[in-house]
A and B are shown apart, each in its own frame.
Chain A
Amino acid sequence: MVGQQLVNGLFLGAVYALFAIGYTLVFGVLDILNLAHAAIFMLAAFATWSLLGAGAPLWLAAPVAIAGAGILGIILDRIAFAPLRRRAAPNLIPLISSIGMAIIFGAIARAIYGPDERKFTLGFLDAAPLHAGPLTFTIVQLVILGSAIAFMLGLAWVMRATALGRAIRAVAEDRIAAALLGIDLERTIGATFFIASALGGLAGILTALQYNSVQVDMGAQIELKGLAVIVLGGMGSITGAVIGGFVIGMVETLAIALGLSGWSDAISYGVMFVILILRPTGLFGKRTLRTA
C-alpha cells in the first residue's frame, strides 16, 4: 500500500507543480500574486471541452486552448495590471485587480456553461488502468507527470538559452536596470504572461482530463494550494514550484495515508506558515525579502 500511496502523491504533486509554475513566474517577474491564474486554468479546460464538442480532435483542441490561455493572459495584463504599472501602485492593488478579473472570468464561464460539471467523452480516458507490479495508475497520470517534467525543462531552457529568457530574468532581477539596458519592458512582461497563462491553461486541461471533470469552480481549491506550493518552493523559482508541488502532493497524500484526512489541508497550510516564518524565501527562492 505504501508504494501505491507514493505513486498517488507523485501524480497529485505533478498537477500542483504545473499550476504553480505559472503562478511563480508572474510573481518572480512582477511581484504580483495573480489570483486570476486559477480562472484561466478553468477557462482553458472549458475551451478544450467546447472545441472537442465541436468535433475537433484532442491534439488540435488542446494546443489551441493553451495558446488561447496565453493570449488571455496578455489581455489580463493589459486590462488589469499594465495601467497600474504606469502608476507605480503598491503591490496590494494588482492583487485586488486580479480578484476583480477572476470574478469576471468566473461570471462569464458560469453564464456560458452553467454550474454543472461537464465530462469529456474521450476513449482513452476510460481505458483500463496500467499496472506495474502492485501499483496502479492511468495513462493520463503518466502524461501529466511527463508534461510537468518536460515543461520545466523546456522553460529552464528558454530562460537560460534564449534572448527572451534572458530578458525575463533581467526584468525579474531589476526592472529599472533592464529598461536602461534597452530591454522592451512591456513586450517582455507580455511574453511572461503568455508563458505563465499558457502553462496555467495546460495545467487546467490536464487536471480536467485527469479527473474527467470541468466545472466553473475547479480552480478554487488549487488556487490556495498553489500558494502553499510556491511559498515552499520559493516565490519566483520555477524549480522550486515543481519540487514544491511534488512535496505538497506527497505531504497531503501521506497525511491521508496516516489517517489524518481531515487535517491534510491544514498540514499544507501549516507547512506554508512555518516556511514563511523560518525561511520566507522558501527552498529555492533567490530573492531577498522585499519590502512590498
Chain B
Amino acid sequence: MTDLTRLKAHEMAALLRAGKVSARDLVAAHLAAIERQDRALHAWLAVDRAGALAQAVEADRTIARARAEGRAALDALHPMLGIPVGLKDLVSVEGGQATAGSRILEGYVAPFDATVAARLKAVGAVIVGKTNMDEFAMGSSCEHSAYGPTSNPWDLARVPGGSSGGSAAAVAAYHVPVAIGTDTGGSIRQPASLCGIVGLRTTYGRVSRYGIVAFASSLDQIGPFGRDARDAAALLHAVAGRDDRDATSAPVEVPEELLRLPESDDEAASYLKGRRIGLPREYFAAGIDPGVAARVREAVAAMEQAGARVDEISLPHTDYGLATYYIIAPAEASSNLARFDGVKYGYHDRSSGDYIADYLATRGAGFGPEVKRRIMLGTYALSAGYYDAYYLKAQKVRTLIKSDFDAAWAAGFDAICAPVSPTVAFRIGEKVDDPVAMYLSDVCTLPINMAGLPGLSIPAGLSEGLPVGLQIIGSPFSELSMLRLARAYEGITARAPWRDLDPAELHLTDDPSTPSPMERMRATRAAARA
C-alpha cells in the first residue's frame, strides 16, 4: 500500500469516501511519521495521540452513517472530515496547552475552544497537535521559541521560517497534509516559502481570531497551510466566516467555490486568460537574492505566456513598510502583552518586594529576549513625548502604504505578484543575534499586513537547492480568485522538474543519530564562541 502521508488532503478525502481507507488508519500513519521523525525536526510542541485517534474513530462513524444514507449524504461531508490537521500553538483547544512558544504560558490549559478549533471539530477534522512557533509569533525563524528551534526539512541546518515555522515544517515533512498558522507580518507566507508549500494569509476579518493568543490586533490574521492550493482552500472554507465572538470578523460570505477548484490542470490554467497581474518594481530592489528574483520573474513570465496580462507597477511607499511595521506591531504588542501579570494565568514569580516588584520578576523571567525587545520598542513608541513622532507618524504612513495598493486595484489589476522572502532559508543561528537582519526577512510581506490584504505563497521552484515562494497579493476578500490563480500556476507548472520533490533532507529525520535542532543551535553557538 502507498504511504498515506504522501497524499494530498483531497486525495485522502476521496479514499475515505470510497471506503478504501479509514480515518483511523490515516491518522495512525501520520502519528507514526511524527513519532519517528520529530526528534530531528521539532515541528511539534504537543501531540494528542489519544485525542486524535478518538476523533478519527468518530469521523469513521460519520462516514459510515453517510454511506448508509446514500451518495448525497456522502457528498455533503466536508472535505476536511477525517483529515489530520496541525494547529500553531497559539490556538486554544479546550483542555490542551496553548503556550504561544512562551515560558510565560507554560502549563496553561485552555478552558475553551478557539473558533477556528471549534469549526474544525464541527466539520470532523482530526486535530493532531500543536506546532512550534516564535514566542508570541514574534520572529521569522522559530529560533525565538522558548522550547527550542525547528529545522527545515530541505536542509536541517536551516530554519523553516517563522513565526508559524512548526506548521510549515510539519506540512512539508508530510506529518500532516494541512495546518493552521497566523500571519502578522509574514508569519504564514515566509515559512510557506522557505518550506516549499502553500500558505495563505487571509484578509483582515476573514477568519475569527477568538481564542487566539494576540500579538498585534490590527495586523494578526489566521490562515491555512497545505501542499497544494486545493487543500489550502478547503481548510480555509472550514474555518472562515463571521463570528459573533470576534467583532473584527467581517460579515462577508465564504464562497462555496473554495471547495471546487479545478482538478484538471488545463481547466485550472485557463483561469489565467486575460487576468491582469501587477509586478511592483520596488519588490525587486536591492537586498533580494538574484536566485529568488529570477524564480519569481520566471513564474510571472509563465503566467503571461498562459494568457495573463502583466504590467510593471509602482508601490512607491514600499520602502517605508519596515519602519512603519516595527513601530505599529510592537506598540500593539506592548499593550496586548500587558495582560501577563502572573495573577489570572501563566507563570508567576513571587518576589519579596511590593506588587511592582512582583510584576517585574514575573514578566522579566517569563518573556524571552525578542518579546522583551518588542515590548520595549512599543512602550517607548507610545510613551509621553514620542507618541506623535512614532506611533501617529507610523499610522499616517500606513495610510500611504494602503493607498498604494488601493490605486492598483482601482487600475484594474486582479493580483500583484512579488517575492515572499528576500532569501531562501537561512542557517540556524545566522540572524538570531541581529534583530534588524531578522526583521528584513519580512520586508516583502509586511506591507500587505499594513494594508489588511490577503497574500499567498506558492512554490515556484528552487534556488541553491532550496524552495522559493511566489507571493500573490489580492484585493480585500479576494481569496477565491487568489487560490484560482495559484491553482492555475500549479496547472501550468505541473510537469516542472521541481514539482513534488521530497524535501532534500527529510530522509535524514528517520535516522535517530541526526542531531535535534536544539543540538544544532548549541553547536553553532559553541563554534561562534570558539
A and B associate in one complex:
no
Residues of B within 8 A of A (CB): none
Residues of A within 8 A of B (CB): none
